[in-house]
Amino acid sequence: MPNDLPKPNPDLPSSGLAARKLCFVAAEGAEAQTALRALTDRYGQQPAEQADIVVALGGDGFMLETLHRFRDRGIPIYGMNRGSIGFLMNEYAEEDLAARIARAQEVTLHPLRMSAATADGQVHEALAINEVSLLRQTRQAAKIRVDVDGVTRVAELMCDGVLLATPAGSTAYNLSAHGPIIPIGANLLALTPISAFRPRRWRGALLPQGATVTFTVLEADKRPVSAVADHTEVRRVVHVTVREDRSVGVRLLFDPEHNLEERILKEQFEP
């Protein structure tokens, strides 16, 4: 996936912000709102529908919301951290925004597409930039069958849940569930159980990016399960299919000294 690796962005001119139509968006927190006022006073503000670059102010959760919001526009998103984690964000600074954007490196991320059938026969579709996770809804553990490309790999996974993560999402919920960190260019997806009870020693698998994963909920009436694609939740699912959708791409801009590829590599060596 060489085209998805960080690279200089020739579409962003070095002549300043005058030639770029910037839209600043911010999370609801006080820190993000203060930054929004400061930056719009300094650089102006373009309507979202006319912008060709979006500057997102907040944390990783807000960045995911922004990527989904502007997904169909295909315009790049440059984030600055005014939240807690900020793995997908650049450091915040009000000065020299023109120069930072001009030398930014671009990463294209392809989301997962979830198709979830519920007990009442409805089918719901959603995209996930980080991960699709299945989670038990009650005190009882879930029972889930896991098929990969039509082959049953786990006949009965008894667990709190299971997730499929993209490389960008591998440092989020996947890492908290003890899944592997995946470099952006690795062409892999992480299949990770969440508190697996049986088979107890199964720790998950690395799958090729083209794999189609199907989750079938066993004893769905007794052990209800919800499916979550980033911030979209579907409850009482019985059958969930997940695959990478390469027809969709979201564009992120990073400062060269702090790009996404470097962050993922660095995360693997943090204590």
**Which sequence positions are flagged as catalytic?**
60
Any binding-site annotation on 241?
no
Return the closest-CA partner of residue 25 out of 72, 82, 74, 73. Answer: 82
Torsion of CA 250, 216, 208, 159, to 10 degrees: 90
Any binding-site annotation on 175?
yes
Any binding-site annotation on 106?
no
Any binding-site annotation on 176?
yes
Any binding-site annotation on 81?
no
Gyration radius of the chain over CA positions: 20
Q: Coil, helix or strand for 58?
A: strand
Any binding-site annotation on 43?
no
Is the distance from CB of 24 to CB of 92 less than 8 angstroms?
no
Any binding-site annotation on 172?
yes
Any binding-site annotation on 196?
no
Return the closest-CA partner of residue 71 out of 27, 33, 128, 123. Answer: 128
User: CA–CA separation, 210 vs 25, rounded Å?
Assistant: 34
Q: Which residues are annotated as a binding site for NAD(+)?
A: 60-61, 130-131, 160, 168, 171-176
Q: Which residues are annotated as a binding site?
A: 60-61, 130-131, 160, 168, 171-176
